[in-house]
Amino acid sequence: MKEIQQQPVQSCEVSVPGSKSYTHRVLIAAALSDGVCRLGNCLESEDTHLTREALVKMGVRIEKAEDRLVVHGTGGRLLPCGDPIFLGNSGTSMRLLTGVAAIGQGTYLLIGTDRMAQRPVADLLEGLDQIGVPARSVNNNGCPPLEIVAGKAQGGHVRLRCGISSQYLSSLLLAAPYIDGGLNIEVTEGPVSKPYIDMTLDIMDRFGVTVERDGYTRFRVAGGQCYRKGDYAVEPDASQASYFWAAAAVTGATVKVMGMTPESRQGDVRFVEVLEAMGCKVNREIDGIAVTGGPLSAVDVDMGDMPDLVPTLSVVAAFTQGITVIRNVAHLKEKESDRLAAVAAELSKMGITVVRTDTGLEITGGRPHGAVIETYNDHRMAMSFAVAGLVTPGVTIANEGCVAKSFPGFWQVFEGLYSSGIS
């Protein structure tokens, strides 16, 4: 349990760790590349360690050298692994590595936590089936554990549903250069969470692989390509920045998150536009983005491209005049927790009226009161509701250690908001 201190927030500068999504992708591209890659500012967290360890089990040599990870690319020649590969509750690891396993050798068994065993992958398995990869849900319920027989993929056309997760598409895209004949992928539903596809394409491009695309519906990756070795520095994580911008929004302070830029492919950097629409002042500076809070007014917003920030926005909405409408995020029920249910339950405990719609939430702002916040083992619930505790006495976060999934140092940085002025 972590009791949040209701304290005045100092105007300050904050640094957040490297992007989780970029770290997963860059580890994979480097592991499949044709040489040695030095990766800077990789996120060190439970989830990114799981991707790293999985790649090591697949025969990739990865070393730490000072502040870099040195990845010895395999040229796409992965080794078999007889042991189950544990991926915790990291959806990104599970989905992205499913495609990677298909281009390896032997049979891989990808397993995870109980919650992972409820997170859907059926549409990805169906996509793999179309190109001849025997990949099955061991419990035959469209969820992990997954058994993937490598070495059978044939290039060709894949019709892929991405209405639940964009990670299915990222998975096939990342593996496609190593599939003879390449892949033509046609997205027949969705995709949700589009910016994550742009991040995948960005990494493929940075590592020398060409992808032709028609918007978000058709993608063509020629086979016989290989990621090229190179050095890469991961940019700071925009999702993690959101908690500090939200802290500014609800307290009225100015919080600048260093190293963030509006040009980033991370869709979550656009959260500042939502805060701006709610009445915050946003300064896009050369070395970071600063948000200053003020009187907040409700917004009606499509969060389909920023699903991970719905808990953050919901907490801000609780302190905002009027009804905030959050649309197009039905896929949130498939995350670390059912985030629509979790956010609604915990805000209700704080005395806030929340209506769960078919695809989102409607939150009537007011004067939240303290409560013990259940986090459902979901890092984003813990980090979002901590922000509420800055302005509401008596907010206690249960199982606060769950932040380790993506941001082990979160509490230290968060406490810097009211201690030093700089963290």
Ligand X SMILES: O=C(O)C1=C[C@@H](OP(=O)(O)O)[C@@H](O)[C@H](O)C1
Nearest to 46 by CA among 409, 383, 322, 344: 409
Dmax of the chain from CA atoms?
A: 60
User: Which part of the chain contacts ligand X (CB under 6 A), choosing from 164-172, 256-264, 362-370, 384-392?
Assistant: 164-172
Q: Per CB under 6 A, which of residues 293..312 are in contact with ligand X?
A: 307-308
170 near ligand X (CB under 6 A): yes
61 is in an annotated binding site: no
Q: Which does residue 193 bind out of ligand X, ligand PEP, none, counting CB within 5 to 8 angstroms by kind?
A: ligand X
331 near ligand X (CB under 6 A): yes
From the list 167, 240, 266, 384, which residue makes contact with ligand X (rule: CB under 6 A)?
A: 167
Instruction: Provide the 3-class DSSP secondary structure of residue 76.
Output: coil
Instruction: Provide the 3-class DSSP secondary structure of residue 364.
Output: strand
Question: By C-beta, is 164 or 354 nearer to ligand X?
Answer: 164
242 is in an annotated binding site: no
Annotation says 237 is catalytic: no
57 is in an annotated binding site: no
339 is in an annotated binding site: yes
Q: Among 305, 308, 358, 378, which one carries the catalytic annotation? A: 308
Residue 241: CB minimum distance to ligand PEP, A: 14
Q: Which does residue 196 bind out of ligand X, ligand PEP, none, counting CB within 5 to 8 angstroms by kind?
A: ligand X
CA angle, 116 then 118 then 124, to 5°: 85
- Can you tell me the distance from the alpha carbon of 49 to that of 294, in angstroms, rounded to the nearest whole number? 39
Structure tokens at 25: 């992708």
From the list 23, 41, 90, 92, which residue makes contact with ligand X (rule: CB under 6 A)?
A: 92
167 is in an annotated binding site: yes
- How many chain residues interact with ligand X (CB under 6 A)? 13
Question: What backbone torsions phi and psi does residue 336 show, to the nearest 5 degrees?
Answer: -55, -35
Q: Which does residue 400 bind out of ligand PEP, ligand X, none, counting CB within 5 to 8 angstroms by kind?
A: none
CA dihedral 135, 141, 144, 150 (to 10 degrees): 0
Question: By C-beta, is 89 or 254 nearer to ligand X?
Answer: 89
Sign of the dihedral through C-alpha 328, 264, 159, 131:
negative
Q: Which does residue 170 bind out of ligand PEP, ligand X, none, counting CB within 5 to 8 angstroms by kind?
A: ligand X
Question: By C-beta, is 256 or 265 nearer to ligand X?
Answer: 265
- The answer to whether 245 and 50 have CB atoms below 8 angstroms apart is no
User: Which part of the chain contacts ligand X (CB under 6 A), choosing from 159-167, 181-189, 203-211, 311-319?
Assistant: 159-167
Distances in whole angstroms, Cα of residue 1 to Cα of each of 306, 346, 363, 374: 28, 15, 26, 10
Q: What is the 8-class DSSP label of residue 142?
A: S
From the list 98, 165, 254, 324, which residue makes contact with ligand X (rule: CB under 6 A)?
A: 165
192 near ligand X (CB under 6 A): yes
Nearest to 51 by CA among 81, 25, 19, 80: 25
Distances in whole angstroms, Cα of residue 238 to Cα of each of 234, 285, 316, 422: 12, 15, 17, 19
Question: Tell me, what amino acid is at 400?
Answer: E
- The answer to whether 358 and 331 have CB atoms below 8 angstroms apart is no
166 is in an annotated binding site: yes
Nearest to 40 by CA among 71, 9, 5: 71
Beta strand ranges found along 190-230 (DSSP E): 211-214, 218-221
Q: Which residues bind ligand PEP (CB under 6 A)?
A: 47, 89-92, 308, 335-336, 380, 406
Q: Which does residue 375 bind out of ligand X, ligand PEP, none, counting CB within 5 to 8 angstroms by kind?
A: none
Q: What is the 8-class DSSP label of residue 305?
A: T
Q: Which does residue 374 bind out of ligand X, ligand PEP, none, counting CB within 5 to 8 angstroms by kind?
A: none
- Can you tell me the distance from the alpha carbon of 412 to that of 14, in angstroms, rounded to the nearest whole number? 11
From the list 178, 196, 407, 414, which residue makes contact with ligand X (rule: CB under 6 A)?
A: 196
Positions touching ligand X (CB under 6 A) are: 21, 91-92, 165-167, 170, 192-193, 196, 307-308, 331
Binding-site annotation, residues for phosphoenolpyruvate: 20, 91, 119, 167, 339, 380, 405
Residues of each annotated binding site? 20-21, 25, 91, 119, 165-167, 193, 308, 335, 339, 380, 405
Q: Which residues are catalytic?
A: 308
